[in-house]
Amino acid sequence: MYDPNSVSAQNDTLLMPSFSLLEPPQPHGTRDTLYLTAPPGSATALALAQVASKAPLLVITPSTASAQRLEQDLAFYSTVPVLPFPDWETLPYDSFSPHQDIISARLRTLRQLQDGVRGIVLVPINTLMQRLPPVEYIAGRVMTLQTGAKLNRETFRESLSRAGYRAVETVYEPGEYAMRGAIIDLFAMGMDEPIRIDLFDDEIDTLRHFDPGNQRSTDKLDHLELLPAHEYSLSRSAIACFREQFETLFDVDPRQSPLYNDALKAIPSPGLEHYLPLFFEQTASLFEHVTDDTRVALLPGIFQAAEQHWQAIESRYDNLGVDPTRPLIPPHRAFFPVSEVFSAIKARPRIELTEDETHRHALTPDAQALPTLAINARAKQPLSALANFLEAQPQTRILFAAESRGRREALEEILAPLHLQLPHVESFHAFLGSQHGMGITESQVGSGLWLTEPNVAVISETELFGDVVRQSRRREKATDDNELAVRHLSELKEGAPVVHQAHGVGRYMGLETLEAGGQANEFLALYYADGAKLYVPVDSLHLISRYSGADDELAPLHKLGSDQWEKARRKAAEKIRDTAAELLDVYARREAQQGVVYDAPAEEYTRFSASFPFEETPDQQAAIEAVISDMTSPQPMDRVVCGDVGFGKTEVAMRAAFLAVQSGRQVVVLVPTTLLARQHFENFRDRFADTAVNISLISRFTAGKEMTQTLQSIKEGQTDIVIGTHKLLSKSVELPKIGLLIIDEEHRFGVAQKEKLKTLRAEIDILTLTATPIPRTLNMAMSGIRDLSIIATPPARRLSVKTFVQQRDNSIIKEALLREILRGGQVYFLHNEVKTIENAAEQIRELVPEARVAVAHGQLPERSLERVMSDFYHRRFNVLVCSTIIETGIDVPSANTILIERADKFGLAQLHQLRGRVGRSHHQAYAYLLTPPPKAMTRDAVKRLEAISASDDLGAGFTLASHDMEIRGAGELLGDEQSGQMETIGYTLYMEMLDRAVKAIRAGKTPNIDAPFNNGVEISLNLPALIPDDYIHDVQQRLVMYKRIANTQSDAELKELQVELIDRFGLLPAPLKNLIRQTKLRQRAEQLGVARIEAGESKGRVLFNSATQVDPLTLVMLIQKSPQHYRLDGSDTLRFEFPMESVEQRFEKVETLLTTLNQKVAAT
């Protein structure tokens, strides 16, 4: 292996002075390694970009994450194309395939290299060790389509099939095609969008891009290159080569291997990519695909990363052992050994970046680190650090970089107090070539830089807002969405019931534009009893919530001006006070109890966390931090972690378990089924393999002698973590040092088990994991009684499950089964009638003879059931006809389609859980909810199906649970009956009142059931404040945006919403700017206890409510100082007179008045 620290390597270097990053030295010849000290910030990307401007460059990074970060920086600085060659993102010898998008990107880069594109090829070191198809492979299989050219449909179909494309009904992902008469839809590899081919007879009439979401055509193109669908070939000659090499290399009966048998039929089994060397006489490395004059750049850490990856390859090869159904290619034939990779590197001119500043041969760049420039929002002068830098460096040219157009506008607003001239420039090089002393651009560059010569600095959002700018924004977005899940008015149809806090339940009749004070504004029209109408200004939508309780048809309709609503609200308040007291009594013991205080995370915990093979998502990290905080505090933990299947809840539990064990406590993991217990046991055992933690499994399959030994081990405290079903709650299991109970899917347990769990809550820490909490659980969590962590961010490259609600039809079933089987995947076919399940399986066999069908249901003997599930997991079958036994079953990553018969009979939580059985890998997954004709379904069933098909987003579990509450009318939190006062006043208002009551009781106060509701601040400035319909055309979308603007609680939230509006819809029109500014006024006025503000061209008034915070002396002083402008009208109204003809004058006077009132209040 090439050693960079060897004597010869040290002697083979060039000794040169420091260099300019804009004109870095170029490597020459293969003898010499050019060592450069890695510059700070994003200056590394600038150096590499400038090197690549002279000749092609292959940049090798130590990891996929570092490659992705560098790609963003290179995109900002490079004047030549950046060609990423991504990693498969699978483990060595994995049994499932990379996502099609990854294969598509890799094939695109290989094709670009073949076409002579000269630029920067970016590759992680582990990817460089993969064997690739020969250089001539892609060129020999590219098909070109041209408008006006002849095209024989049948010949073209055969060509697509040979190239590895899959025939489907509707095209969604790369590598698929669909033929419908004269229309051919095709998602070509290497392209970002699918293509629609329109034939006229046998001639190509048009080629158009189309959107796979709505299937609508967009722009035209003249010609199209079709790349093969895989990095290996399924041509007859390639299959013959595979067959010969498979049979020669492996000493197994090939007929026992489903992968081998599928390959002979040209079916790409999951993980077939790992057998790529068998399809070719000779493979190639990436070095053979790049041009001869391509130089190499090595980032710090690649030597260690290469060695670690090779060890992982060998370890996987040894651990997976000999499986006759899936034999493994020896490492040296499946991958390029480390020595070969570094020999190839040494054969080219190369640059090595080093972080060792004492390296005696490394050249130093003319760059320095930027000082701390962070904006401190809490300081009196938030921009002081940046202002000091600008003042100290008047000669430095500065370019600010914002993530997007919306972020740029927000940043310009934030920097406004500095009065900087910031012209917008297109790129870094455009700024260098300009005469501007300062500028601003849009880029996702990860960090800034400061060049000494020329004196230029790039300041990114990272310098101004910290490293977490992107992560924190994602996390805030997820939290916002969770809060809005039950509040905002999307999907609101005309005639739907809504609740106005002051006037009760009415019916929504749409948005109407009315003139008030000579200005047109939009109002929400509400219809009440006796034909009364109420018009609510759009900036008061925070007072409106969607009614959720009884069915829409049964919702009450209140009478305006009567005491009907006040009585209903008071009765609900009394009931809520009692409910809150009862709830808090149940959980008071937990608060009062001195729980286990675990040791703070130490070095061992840090090492355990670092061994997690994936990058934590922001939500997952937040959940982990919340759990650790709970465990290291005196009160017992009772936290619900809600996250969709596969979003990383188990890792949260494992971190908690490790901390508990490190503190000398035992951990119990309680699961609803034996199969799930077995899988959790295997997952925990693998994750804790490098620790001394002792893990045991208790299930009905545990034999007598083994059970006795396990129980003894638990009793003596030798077992650290015990995993099992409700059997763990029996008296025979003695847990002397129990500290943490982890419950998976609590709603699957029976009443007796739940009662037992309730008694444990005040004694030990409890962590509940759930994909979709039942309404009662969610209600308690939302009431602040149990803590709630939501993991709504999907792992990287996870795709949402495409969900179809279809009337049952054999052609749909056949299409769904074939779509999955022909791409080498597996299918769940859920038929929940045990009496007829064998008939259903037989029908599948007749419908799709290619299918290998197995049957699983709860009435099978347990060992038979376990054997069937194990066989399905190992892909001996590709269709499992099953009952709901799979609901909390084992993970099968290659099962990516589920069909659910009579989906109308299932609850929402159950449908979501069943759908979560698929989509556990990088493949696009599909769920088909098969129903009888609409007339045969109940209204609630239709609602459930509408809710789940609308929520096919990843992380929809929380939203679905909220929908479930609305449908069931979740109410009495402690009773079995899930209905109640919500039917009278609606879910959202009920929850707000309950939340207020809980907080009052916690603070030691009696909830005031007569307390007036905050009816908001009415603002009438006689100016247009609305979202123009030519800015957002869709009425529903406008309504949602009105609601979101009205719901904002702070200036920061409003700024984020402005950013989103600009990004989605373009620059803000003047009326919308007015609405946002008016909302800021409302937020400030609410804090002062103002009820109403009016202003016209020459005068206005402020009306105070009975609980105003304004000191009367403030008003007296204001009037004494300017009696010509201000006067009191009664005890609660301040009138003012100023010239206010323009919009700006009106806003300015009202803003100044509120500032004056607030400052005086603060001073007293």
Q: Is residue 965, in this structure, part of any structural domain at all?
A: no
- Residue-wise pLDDT tens digits, 495-511: 888 888 888 899 988 88
The whole-number pLDDT of residue 479 equals: 35
| Rounded Cα–Cα distance for residues 28 and 31 (Å) | 8
Token output for 109:
């880069």
Given a cut of 80, is residue 475 above it in pLDDT?
A: no
pLDDT of residue 622 exceeding 50: yes
Amino acid 782: pLDDT: 52
Statement: residue 4 has pLDDT above 50: no
Beta-bridge partners for 829: 881, 899
pLDDT of res. 747: 64
Between 760 and 113, the higher pLDDT residue: 113
pLDDT (0 to 100) of residue 347: 92
CATH number at residue 300: 3.40.50.11180
Spatial distance between the Cα atoms of 106 and 101, rounded to a whole number of angstroms: 9
Chain centroid, CA 711 distance in Å: 42
**Does 41 lie in the same domain as 171?**
no
Residue 328: which residues within 8 A CB-CB, separation 6 or more? 93, 317, 320, 334
The CATH number given to whatever domain includes residue 1058 is 3.90.1150.50
CA distance 943 to 746: 25
The backbone torsions φ and ψ at residue 619, rounded to the nearest 5 degrees and listed phi first, read -65, -40
User: What pLDDT was estimated at residue 977?
Assistant: 33
pLDDT for residue 799: 64
Q: Residue 557 falls within a domain, yes or no?
A: no
| φ, ψ (nearest 5 deg) of residue 562 | -100, 175
pLDDT at 956: 52
pLDDT of res. 549: 61
Q: 266, 234 in Cβ contact below 8 A?
A: yes
Q: Which of 90-94, 130-134, 452-456 has the lowest average pLDDT?
A: 90-94
169 and 99 fall within a common domain: no
Beta strands in 1006-1089 (DSSP E): 1018-1020
Q: What is the pLDDT of residues 911-921, one digit of tens each?
A: 877 888 888 76
- Residue matched to tokens 């041209």: 146
Examine residue 1026 and state whether it is found in any structural domain, yes or no: no
Residue type, 780: M
Q: Percentage of residues in the chain with pLDDT exceeding 90?
A: 36
- The sheet carrying 166-167 orders its strands as 166-167, 176-180, 183-186, 195-200, 203-210, 217-221
Which structure tokens are listed for 608? Answer: 């355990």
**Cα(473)–Cα(618) distance, rounded to whole angstroms?**
10
Q: What is the pLDDT of residue 544?
A: 82
Q: What is the pLDDT of residue 506?
A: 92
> pLDDT class for 216, splitting at 50, 70, 90?
low
- Using an 8 Å Cβ cutoff, are 233 and 243 in contact? no
C-alpha 784/C-alpha 997 separation (Å) is 11
Q: How many CA atoms lie within 13 A of 47 on its CB side?
A: 34
Residue 971 lies in a domain: no
* Same domain assignment for residues 629 and 749: yes
Mark whether 651 and 762 lie in a shared domain.
yes
Residue 748 corresponds to which tokens in the numbers above?
Answer: 């699957």
Q: Would residue 247 count as lying in a domain?
A: no
pLDDT-based confidence at residue 148 (cuts at 50, 70, 90): very high
How far is CA 755 from its chain centroid?
35
Mean pLDDT of the chain: 82
Of the two residues 782 and 137, the one the predictor is more confident about is: 137
Same-domain pairing of 150 and 124: no
Residue 661: inside a domain: yes
At residue 389, does pLDDT exceed 50?
Answer: yes
Place 12 in a pLDDT band, splitting at 50, 70 and 90.
very low
- For the ranges 114-118, 135-139, 254-258, 954-958, the lowest mean pLDDT is seen at 954-958
- Whether 283 shows a pLDDT value over 90: the answer reads yes
3-state SS of 505-558? EEEEEEEEEEEECCEEEEEEEEECHHHCEEEEEHHHHHHEEECCCCCHHHCCCC
Amino acid 987: pLDDT: 66
- For residue 1070, the model assigns a pLDDT of 92
Pairing label, strands 449-451, 456-460 = antiparallel
DSSP SS3 for 559: coil
Q: Residue 432 is part of a domain; what is its CATH number? A: 3.40.50.11140
- Average pLDDT for 841-861: 92
Residues 833 and 748 in one domain: no
200-to-153, 203, 221, 542, 1041 alpha-carbon distances in Å: 12, 5, 17, 56, 45
CA distance 246 to 341: 25
Residue 273 near residue 107 (C-beta atoms within 8 A): no
Q: Which of 192, 226, 260 is the last residue of a domain?
A: 226
Q: Do 720 and 830 reside in the same domain of the chain? A: no
Say whether pLDDT at 750 is over 70. no
Do 207 and 110 belong together in one domain?
Answer: no
| Spatial distance between the Cα atoms of 646 and 626, rounded to a whole number of angstroms | 20
Question: Which one-letter DSSP state was computed for residue 115?
Answer: T
> Which among 927, 953, 979 is the end of a domain?
953
Q: Count the Cβ atoms, other than its own, within 10 Å of residue 1139.
A: 10
pLDDT at 489 over 80: no
Strand-pair category, 183-186 with 195-200: antiparallel
The reply to whether 847 and 945 lie within a common domain is yes
- 92 phi and psi, to 5 degrees? -55, 135
Residue after which a domain boundary falls, among 424, 444, 467:
467
Q: Higher-confidence residue: 1042 or 1016? A: 1042
Cα separations in angstroms, 286 against 126, 138, 141, 927, 1003: 12, 14, 19, 38, 66
H or E segment and range at residue 1128: strand 1126-1128
Q: What are phi and psi of 930, to 5 degrees?
A: -90, 130
Cα→Cα distances 244→239, 248, 281, 758, 835, Å: 9, 6, 11, 63, 47
The two tokens of residue 1079 are 């909302």
CATH number at residue 856: 3.40.50.300
Give me the mean pLDDT over the 5-34 stretch.
Answer: 65
Q: DSSP string spanning 640-664?
A: EEEE-TTSSHHHHHHHHHHHHHHTT
Structure-token pair, residue 245: 């090499």
**Predicted confidence band at 394 (pLDDT cuts at 50, 70, 90)?**
very high
What tens digit of pLDDT does each residue of 1088-1126 get? 889 899 999 999 999 998 778 888 888 888 888 899 999
Of 145-149, 210-214, 525-529, 899-903, least confident by mean pLDDT is 210-214
In this predicted structure, what is the pLDDT of residue 922?
60
Which of 434-448, 493-507, 993-1007 is predicted most confidently?
A: 434-448
Joined together, the tokens standing for residue 290 give 């790049």
Q: Which among 519, 661, 563, 651 has a CA at the least distance from the CA of 604? A: 661
Q: How far apart are CA 885 and CA 1060, in angstroms?
A: 43
Indicate which CATH number applies to the domain containing 186: 3.30.2060.10
In a domain, 899, yes or no: yes
DSSP 773: -
Q: Which domain holds residue 66?
A: 7-17+25-136+285-319+334-354
- The secondary structure of residue 680, as a DSSP letter, is H
Q: What confidence score (pLDDT) does residue 968 get?
A: 43
Q: Do 947 and 818 fall into the same domain? A: yes
What is the C-alpha separation between 450 and 918, in angstroms, rounded? Answer: 49
Q: 468: how many CB neighbours lie within 10 A of its CB?
A: 12
574, pLDDT greater than 90 = no
Half-sphere exposure of 819 (CA within 13 A, CB side): 27
Residue 544 in any domain: the answer is no
pLDDT at residue 1081 greater than cutoff 90: yes
Residues 806, 944 within the same domain: yes
Give 31-51 pLDDT, tens digit per residue: 778 888 888 889 999 999 999
Q: Looking at the 3D structure of the chain, how many domains does it have?
A: 6
**Band of the pLDDT at 249, cuts 50, 70, 90?**
very high
Instruction: Say whether both 621 and 726 belong to one domain.
Output: yes
734-744: average pLDDT: 88
The answer to whether residue 967 scores a pLDDT higher than 50 is: no
Cα 373 to Cα 458: distance, rounded to the nearest angstrom? 12
> Which among 124, 113, 106 is positioned nearest to 60, based on CA atoms?
124
Burial 937-959 (b: 16+ CB within 10 A, else e): beeebebbbebbbebbebbbbbb
Distance CA 349, CA 1063 (A): 44
Report residue 758's pLDDT band, with 50, 70 and 90 as the boundaries.
Answer: low
Tell me which H or E stretch contains 207.
strand 203-210
Q: Taking residues 753-758, what's their average pLDDT? A: 64
pLDDT at 423 over 60: yes
State the Cα–Cα distance between residues 1034 and 1037, nearest whole angstrom: 5
Query: What mean pLDDT is predicted for residues 922-942?
Result: 85
Contact between residue 1050 and residue 1080 where contact means Cβ atoms under 8 Å apart: no
Contacts of 495 (CB under 8 A, 6+ apart): 507, 508, 509, 552
Look at residue 980 and tell me whether its pLDDT is greater than 70: no
Model confidence at 586, pLDDT cuts 50, 70, 90, reads low
884, 890, 895, 896 alpha-carbon torsion, rounded to 10°: 70
* Run of H or E including 1058: helix 1051-1065
Q: What is the largest CA-CA distance in the chain?
A: 102
